[in-house]
Amino acid sequence: MITEEKMDNDSIKAQKYLGSRGFVIFIAFLSAFVPLSTDLYLPALPRMVESFQTTIGLLNMTLILFFIFYAVGMLLWGPLSDKYGRRPILLTGLSIYTLSSTLCALAGSVHMLIIFRILQAIGSGAVVSVSVATIKDSYNGRKRVAILAVVQSMAMLAPVIAPVIGAVILKLFSWHGVFWILSIVGVIALIGGILMQETIPSHSNENIFRTVARIGVVIKNPRYTVLLVIFAIQMLPLLAYISVSSYIYIDGFGLSEQVYSYFYAFNAIFSVLAPLFYMRISTYCKNTLIIMTSFAIIIISGILIITIGRFSPWLFALSILPATLGGNIIRPPSTNLILEQQQSDTGTASSLMSFSYTIMGSIGMMLISLSSGNRIFTMGFMYIIIGGISLIGWVLVQKKAFINNI
């Protein structure tokens, strides 16, 4: 367990108002913005199709475009946080997020909801890019890996509880209530952002255009880019699952919104446990073996989804479970390993990483939405292919031996 004193000793700069433990909790809260913004209204999607008298494809644009503009937002906000500081960018993003969440709650058509979700995504991009960068600003070495694992585990509580809360909100109110809750979340985060002290030791003196152009400098780093591709493509099947899970469980298996939320939470619980499990096994096993084994587990999960996943909701949930474990076990070491390849331009590097993850996930959502056949089969096939490509890439990277601190 990470104590207050331990974190104070290992942190680069202490937080006067939040404290070390409060700072970690706050960063985890910020990291949970995206799962809260998506998973909270997943149970409402089938009902929203009827409410707006629209199609599944058009309503899913509220998810797909959210992730695309969230990714673009991170790519732009990250370099700006290097220039102007983490705190001003965070407060700007939180203000945009809170206002747009309120507008989403008031949306009278699916097209207006899409527009307000885009604004919400842009604000989320600032929030998440800053949250990742502040961890590297504040911690070093193995302590950074440990903090990443703690933050990711705490943040993953959001997809566990969000669908359950969303289903309860639907019982008491309508889907509008979901976005009122997100508005309140934004206000709470704004208070935390005001209390947070700046974490970046020095600001970039370059003009805005040169600052944004640093993205190209980071991309040209082959160590960074190769690892980024290997790990980012894991988001294709993951977000494909998130985008169609409510349709599979509610429309496909005939479950209620409340029961669906329990199945979704069951899977998400293992997203919370996976980074903690990594912290335990990392003391006995090398990261190279852990990552390789995780990719193999993802492939096995894809095979199970194709062969038995279609027969019942429980078999589907159990067959996708190994992929959830494998994909989340590698998150702490992969995040740290990618950032270790780029010693400068931390905000840009973290934003580009988050951008790539999200764009890959958006592609997965579009592919599964365009699938006219069995969505469960398509999802399993995606896990097999992506897991195989990543496993081969990881093996080749180790043979090349040009990655720092592998």
Q: Where are the domains of the chain?
A: 4-400
pLDDT at 170: 82
Phi, psi angle pair for 16, to nearest 5°? -65, -45
Strand partners, 139: 11
User: What end-to-end distance do the CA atoms of the chain give, in Å?
Assistant: 25
Q: How far is CA 87 from CA 78, 136, 150, in A?
A: 12, 15, 22
Most confident of 166-170, 283-287, 377-381: 377-381
pLDDT at 404: 67
Question: Is the pLDDT at 406 greater than 70, yes or no?
Answer: no
pLDDT at 10: 54
Q: Which of 314, 309, 354 has the alpha carbon at shortest distance from 79? A: 354
At 10-66, the pLDDT tens digits run 555 667 788 888 888 898 888 888 888 888 888 888 888 888 888 888 888 998 899
At 162-193, the pLDDT tens digits run 888 888 888 888 888 989 999 999 999 999 99
Contacts of 321 (CB under 8 A, 6+ apart): 267, 270, 301
Q: Taking residues 374-390, what's their average pLDDT?
A: 93
More confident residue, 103 or 128: 103
pLDDT at 313: 94
- Rama region for 140: left / alpha / beta (φ>0; ψ in -120 to 50; rest): beta
- The sign of the torsion formed by the CA atoms of 224, 382, 58, 100 equals negative
- Compute the distance between CA of residue 95 and CA of residue 97 in angstroms, rounded to an integer: 5
Question: Is the pLDDT at 2 greater than 70, yes or no?
Answer: no
Q: How far is CA 343 from CA 84, 223, 262, 325, in A?
A: 19, 12, 42, 30
Q: Taking residues 204-219, what's their average pLDDT?
A: 74
CATH superfamily of 4-400: MFS general substrate transporter like domains (1.20.1250.20)
Phi, psi angle pair for 384, to nearest 5°? -65, -50
- Compute the distance between CA of residue 175 and CA of residue 117 in angstroms, rounded to an integer: 14
Question: Is the pLDDT at 6 greater than 50, yes or no?
Answer: no
Q: Taking residues 71-77, what's their average pLDDT?
A: 84
pTM of the model: 0.74
pLDDT at 118: 96
pLDDT at 4: 45
